[in-house]
Amino acid sequence: MPIHLYDIYRNPNIGIFSKASDKLLLMPTAYSKQKSDKLASLLGVEMLYASVGNTRLLGPLIAMNNKGILLSRFAEEEEALFLRKSTGLNVEKLDSVYSSVGNLIAANDFGAAVADILSAKEIAQIKDVLDVPVEKGFVAGYYQLGSIVKPSNSGAIAHPRATDAELKWLKEILKVDCEVCTINGGVPFVSSGLLVNTRAAIVGSSTSGPELFMLGKAFKV
């Protein structure tokens, strides 16, 4: 699996603006078609333009796997309807007071590790839409698991202060090995600078050689 360096809007925090799975790459509506298609080609997926709440901040406002998509409560009904029709997936707005669903949920097709602050009702909806077992917890002292844990169906990375016990817990939930790592030259919020699926990884251009090595180890490159 290759690893590619890339920026979006001349910004290495590519995971803030986009979201990827084994089937889809979601890109901000106004972003270059040529560049969007290139990223989709690198990941071997279909590209769709999307917005959530009329913003381009797709990463924090979307949680998804290959089975479903959860959107922030800020999403407009037309935005949810477009994704539902275009993808054929189960697409819903998370019924929650919390808006940054992408920062609260780390999911692949085997499981989801989610913020300890979520209620039983919210957990039930996550299970239903993403069609995976769900467990609540903390990692490295943070409840924002979607921002500090980035899984695919072949591996996962987590905040560099994640303990061995927390990595074991993540492995049990996500059913893949999990390694500690940073992104973009030391950023511990790993989802901010990474798009990954089972075919390829795309990282921000500030990502260092040692970080690329750890990404290769984690995602079986």
pLDDT in tens, 61-84: 999 999 999 999 999 999 999 999
Q: Percent of the chain at pLDDT above 90?
A: 98
3-state secondary structure the chain: CCEEECCECCECCHHHHCEECCCEEEEECCCCHHHHHHHHHHHCCEEEEECECCECCHHHHEEECCCEEEECCCCCHHHHHHHHHHHCCEEEECCCCCCCHHHHEEECCCCEEEECCCCHHHHHHHHHHHCCCEEEECECCECCHHHHEEECCCCEEECCCCCHHHHHHHHHHHCCCEEECCECCCECCHHHHEEECCCCEEECCCCCHHHHHHHHHHCCC
pLDDT per position as a tens digit, 139-174: 999 999 999 999 999 999 999 999 999 999 999 999
Mean pLDDT of 13-25: 97
Model-level pTM? 0.95
Sign of CA dihedral 25, 191, 50, 4: negative
If one counts the domains in the chain, the total is 1
- The residue range of the domain holding 10 is 3-218
- Taking CB atoms within 8 Å and a gap of at least 24, the contacts of 215-221 are 215/3, 215/157, 215/181, 216/3, 217/179, 218/155, 218/156, 218/157, 218/177, 218/178, 218/179, 218/181, 219/1, 219/152, 219/154, 219/155, 219/157, 220/1, 220/154, 220/155, 221/1, 221/2, 221/3
Residue 95 pLDDT: 96
pLDDT reading at 221 higher than 70: no
Confidence band of 130 (pLDDT split at 50, 70, 90): very high
pLDDT per position as a tens digit, 21-40: 999 999 999 899 999 999 99
CATH of the domain at 195: 3.75.10.10
* Cβ contacts of 75 within 8 Å, gap of 6 or more: 52, 53, 61, 93
pLDDT reading at 87 higher than 90: yes
Mean pLDDT of the residues in the chain: 97
Residue 220 pLDDT: 84
Confidence band of 183 (pLDDT split at 50, 70, 90): very high
